[in-house]
Amino acid sequence: MDSLRIGLVGFGTVGVGVGEILVQQSQRLTQRAGRSIQLVSAAVRNPAKRQSPLLKGGHVCSDGLDVAQDPGVDVVLELIGGLEPARQIVLAALEHGKHVVTANKALLCEHGEELFAAARRAGKTIAFEAAVAGGVPIIHVLGQSMAANQIVEIQAILNGTSNYILTEMFRHGASYGDAVRRAQEIGYAEADPSMDVKGTDAAQKLGLLTLLAFGTRVTPDKFLVQGIDTLEQADLRYADMLGYAVKLVATAKLVGGRLEMHTQPTLVRKDDPLAKVEGANNVISLTGDILGETWFSGMGAGREATASAVVADVIDLAVGRAQLTFPHLDLWGERPKFDLQPAEEIVRRYYLRFNVEDKPHVMADLTDVLGRNGISLASVIQQESPEVDESSSQGATVPLVIMTHRTTEGQYRKAAAELDRLTCVRLPRVCLPVAG
């Protein structure tokens, strides 16, 4: 049988990792794929990288579109990231009769509808195992292993950088700023870490999992997305005292026939498997209506984990598995299968932290606002403040932590608007949902 001819676009962290596997494991890949896998063409922007021995024997150019249109290529690996020109390269590859493998969740989240439709028209496959949770084979699980189930809930830690930062803050008492700097030093966080710490990356991945699991396309602008960038050491300590860890949890679940979705720092009971995930790892819990709950965990990013997933997709294309599965994935619905539950109607418990003036009636004022909005308190922590000079105009403030019983997001928002008008409550006011 002919070899499978690969065109590689992007020779950065993941591209180099893929090149290494193709060169170093060629015998193993030939055996698993039933034919040899040859890197025949590569687009490399940085001229210094063009001499890499990993690219020896292939045609090297600087424009990804050349690879996408190369008649000698069977499969294009899009590994440059970003939206453009990645989108044009994928479209060109499909139009020129090539399958595509991509690790680009941002691209699929933003342009998935257009790209999947183009693949269907062309009768070609887009394989994207590496786009969510790196080395954790969750796309295969959703598309194949759990195909007999309707997924009813996804709960996951999908951003390794945020989880590493939270672990540093919790285990080593680091401030948020110091933890981010440490993540940057060891290469977990980029120079601009916004996509990770603001929750966007995790929300995009949740969007992709939701498309596969629920046949419903939901972009991050449509559901609650909150990052870890406003968290303080104090919140991790109070959560700890109350028996919880704080994790950036991505959730999509069916509630009364509608889809509840959010990606937020969340209090998770310490005995919950989500709480035990440390460092840059990812974990995903899937609940199927037949199988029940099942867990998947591992390295969510990094050269080896991501390249391993990309090459697995290439092998699936070589043996024809990916082409069989792709047309049956839940990517094609004319209408979304499930409506999104409005954020105001989501029911959860909340952890609230206020800085309040240390004077009489403050507690009464605060609980009055919460009570009038139908929010009842499960527990309260108020620590003593140091003695202050009574004549000082700036009265002392004390932290007040409240755990609520179950209430709606809408009720909390109404109460929060009233609380902001109370002079005894100083910003920032912290509100984190509690899992379960």
Catalytic residues: 205
* Helix, strand, or coil (residue 34): coil
**Residue 164 lies near ligand NAP (rule: CB under 6 A):** no
**Secondary structure (3-state) at 399:** strand
Q: Helix-strand-coil percent breakdown of the chain, rounded to 5? A: 40, 25, 35
Q: Which stretch binds ligand NAP (CB under 6 A): 79-87, 273-281, 311-319, 332-340?
A: 79-87
Q: Is 186 in the site for ligand NAP (CB under 6 A)?
A: no
For the chain, give the number of residues. Answer: 436
Question: What is the spatial distance between Cα 273 and Cα 314, in angstroms, rounded to a whole number?
Answer: 32
CB 11 within 8 A of CB 44: yes
Of 74-82, 241-249, 264-272, 319-327: span binding ligand NAP (CB under 6 A): 74-82
CB of 246 to ligand NAP, least distance (A): 24
Q: Which two tokens stand for residue 144?
A: 């194949």
| SS3 per residue for 161-228 | HHHHHHHHHHHHCCCHHHHHHHHHHCCCCCCCCHHHHCCHHHHHHHHHHHHHHHCCCCCHHHCEECCC
Instruction: Please tell me what DSSP assigns to residue 306.
Output: H
CA 36 – CA 30 distance, rounded (Å): 4
Residues 253-282 within binding reach of ligand NAP (CB under 6 A): none
306 interacts with ligand NAP by CB under 6 A = yes
Question: Minimal distance in Å, beta carbon 84 to ligand NAP?
Answer: 9
Binding letters toward ligand NAP, positions 27-46, x by CB under 6 A: ----------------x-xx
Among 12, 273, 298, 399, binds ligand NAP (CB under 6 A): 12
Q: Is 106 helix (H, G, I), strand (E, B) or coil?
A: helix
188 binds ligand NAP (CB under 6 A): no
Work out how close the CB of 318 gets to ligand NAP at its nearest, in angstroms, rounded to a whole number: 21
Residue 264 burial (10 A CB sphere; 0-12, 13-18, 19+):
buried
- How many residues lie near ligand NAP (CB under 6 A)? 22
Q: How far is the CB of 190 from ligand NAP (least distance, A)?
A: 9
Q: How many CA atoms lie within 13 A of 226 on its CB side?
A: 16
At its nearest, how many Å lie between ligand NAP and the CB of residue 250?
15
Q: Which is nearer to ligand NAP, 85 or 215 (CB)?
A: 85
Selection from 209, 220, 426, 424 nearest residue 330 by Cα? 209
Residue whose pair of structure tokens reads 């809408």 in the numeric block: 410
Q: Does 433 bind ligand NAP (CB under 6 A)?
A: no
Both structure tokens of 417: 């608007």
Return phi, psi of residue 180, to 5°.
Answer: -65, -45
For residue 11, state whether it binds ligand NAP (rule: CB under 6 A): yes
Number of Cβ atoms within 10 Å of the Cβ of 2 = 8
Smallest separation (angstroms) from ligand NAP to the CB of 123 = 25
Q: Nearer to ligand NAP by C-beta: 64 or 199?
A: 64
When asked if residue 302 is in the footprint of ligand NAP (CB under 6 A), the reply is yes
- The smaller minimum CB distance to ligand NAP, of residues 7 and 10, is found at 10
| Candidate residues 20, 81, 96, 296; the one interacting with ligand NAP per rule CB under 6 A | 81
- CB distance 204 to 217 below 8 Å: no
Stretch that binds ligand NAP, among 117-125, 161-169, 265-273, 298-306 (CB under 6 A): 298-306
The answer to whether 13 contacts ligand NAP (rule: CB under 6 A) is yes
15 binds ligand NAP (CB under 6 A): yes
Query: Which of 4, 6, 8, 14 is the binder for ligand NAP (CB under 6 A)?
Result: 14
Question: From the CB of 108, what's the least distance to ligand NAP, in Å?
Answer: 9
Containing 408, the helix (H) or strand (E) segment is strand 407-408
**In the stretch 118-137, what mask flags binding to ligand NAP with x, by CB under 6 A?**
------------x---x---
Query: Which residue's Cβ has the minimum distance to ligand NAP?
Result: 12
Least distance from C-beta 64 to ligand NAP, angstroms?
Answer: 4
Q: Which of 29, 75, 79, 169 binds ligand NAP (CB under 6 A)?
A: 79
Number of Cβ within 10 Å of residue 394's Cβ equals 8
Applying CB under 6 A, which residues contact ligand NAP? Answer: 9-15, 43, 45-46, 64, 79-81, 85, 103-104, 130, 134, 301-302, 306
